[in-house]
Amino acid sequence: MKLCIVPTMFPKYKGDYYGSFVYDEAKKLVENGIEVHVLTQHNHGIPYEEIMDGIHVHRFRWLEPKEFRALVHFKGLKDNLRLLTYVISLFFNLVKIIKKYKINIIHAHSVIPTGLIGVIVAKIMGCPSFITAHGMDINNFDAKSIYGHLISFSLKHCDKAIAVSGDLAETMKSLGITKDKIVILRNAVDTNRFKPFKNMELRHKYGVKENELLILFVGYLDTFKGIFELVDAFYGINKENKNVKLMMVGTGLKKDEIKKKISQLGLKSYVMLIGTVPHAEIHSYYQMADVFVLPSHTEGFPLSVLEAMACKIPVLVTDVGGISEIIENGLNGFVVVSNDEHELTNKLKIITKDKNLRNDFANKSYEIIRNSHFDMGDKIKVLKELYSYMVNK
């Protein structure tokens, strides 16, 4: 079987964290005997063609920005022009890839623009198409807008619409997508890497003492990830307890603003901005932490929460997207209202003070990972069955 994956996010080089969830899935599919091609946009300084862990990566030309930015953050006339060149180039290059490599199936990650183009090309070339919706590609658009209509069109005309959470599946139904077309296939974690282990060596490297408690955030540094509320909440903790530190892993548009805020609050000695961590090393950062916090305003089914749970780290999250499907407030973590700094601060104080509560949350979350189908191997098995069914239909 020959598969072409069409993502909006994909690592720019081996070890890059950007779009690593698509890379991990593609790599496992290759290991399971599928010939995988990935068609994605080119960015400055990387090759147009390469093979990464058996994945055939094809990057197309477009009006790319001089400095890398995620498509979701494009704004204004120039960025809209860039997106137009992106869509046109994606269309013609996808047709070329399908013909050249005799691709059996197209799988787009993100409903628009990749899902839309994937559906159109699949109809022209006579092959099945899948779309995986991750959250922002549906939730951030008004259903009555032009984008909303394009989302509905894409999902209605693909062969299988994959939702990473039950919440997203319900959103699809509200857009008129029939139940038989929707498949709930949640994000999965590699439990061979993400597993319980106390990484004292890495703690020592960053100057985190044994008697200090480390709060970890992993994600894009932007407003929608709740980073400003997190720093404000940590400030409230810091006034009462100097033995707590905060580590923020990732980069983003608001990196300089959050750095300035940390300095203004006098938290430079207590908050560490790590930047981007190679994908192959990210599990070690969970394994050095005592608490994981993700105060997002919007999510689909965040992989970072699963990664923390698999490493047996207690979590504090906001009630957005499909998070409530894996974290039950007060049972295996704390779930707070999005953009509520007061509640976030209050729950952060409780979880940092109560070691027994942290252990209880961590143990229960770990059991959920062990006993549910969140392992990457299980997910790949389901995907292979879906692909085979559609190709042989």
Task: Average the pLDDT over 169-178 and give the result.
Answer: 94
As a residue count, the chain comes to 393
Of 50-64, 128-142, 303-317, least confident by mean pLDDT is 128-142
> How deeply is 330 buried, as exposed, middle or buried, from its count of CB atoms within 10 A (0-12, 13-18, 19+)?
exposed
Residue 36 lies in a domain: yes
Residues 90 and 171 in one domain: yes
* Domain presence at residue 194: no
In DSSP terms, 189 is beta-bridged to 375
Instruction: Please list, in sequence order, all residues whose beta carbon lies within 8 angstroms of the beta carbon of residue 385, skipping any fewer than 6 positions away.
Output: none
**pLDDT tens digits, residue range 206-256?**
999 999 999 999 999 999 999 999 999 999 999 999 999 999 999 988 999
Same domain? 307 vs 242: yes
130 and 95 both lie in a single domain? yes
Beta strands in the chain (DSSP E): 2-7, 35-41, 49-52, 55-60, 105-109, 129-133, 160-163, 182-184, 213-218, 244-249, 271-275, 291-294, 315-318, 334-336
Q: Is residue 111 part of a domain?
A: yes
Give residue 64's pLDDT: 87
Contact 279, 304 (CB under 8 A): no
Task: Identify whether residues 236 and 140 lie together within a single domain.
Answer: no
- My answer on whether 313 and 387 are in the same domain is no
CATH number at residue 346: 3.40.50.2000
Q: Is residue 348 part of a domain?
A: yes
Q: CA-CA distances (angstroms) from residue 226 to 222, 317, 358, 379?
A: 7, 10, 22, 29
Q: Are residues 173 and 272 in the same domain?
A: no
Domain-located, residue 285: yes
Q: Which helix (H) or strand (E) holds 172?
A: helix 166-174
The answer to whether 318 and 294 have CB atoms below 8 angstroms apart is: yes
Domain membership of residue 193 (yes or no) is no
What's the whole-model pTM score? 0.89
The reply to whether 31 and 119 lie within a common domain is yes
* Mean confidence (pLDDT) of the chain: 94
The whole-number average pLDDT for the span 307-319 is 97
Question: What pLDDT shows up at residue 73?
Answer: 65
In a domain, 212, yes or no: yes
Residue 108, SS3 per DSSP: strand
User: Same structural domain for residues 178 and 207?
Assistant: no
Asked whether residue 124 carries a pLDDT value surpassing 70, the answer given is yes
Question: Cα separation of 128 and 103, whole Å?
Answer: 10
For residue 97, what are the domain limits? 2-188+375-392
Q: Clarify whether residues 274 and 332 are in a common domain.
A: yes
pLDDT in tens, 83-123: 899 999 999 999 999 999 999 999 999 999 999 999 999 99
Q: Is residue 195 one of the residues assigned to a domain?
A: no
Residues 319 and 260 reside in one and the same domain: yes
pLDDT tens, residue by residue, 246-287: 999 999 889 999 999 999 999 999 999 999 998 889 999 999
- Residue 303's nearest CA partner among 286, 288, 278, 290 is 286
**Number of domains, the chain:** 2
Together in a domain, 317 and 302: yes
**Cα separation values, 208 from 172, 218, 227, 378, Å:** 45, 17, 21, 36
The model's confidence at residue 72, banded by pLDDT at 50, 70 and 90, is low
| DSSP secondary structure string for all residues of 43-92 | -TTS-SEEEETTEEEEEE-----SS---GGG--HHHHHHHHHHHHHHHHH
170 & 209 share domain: no
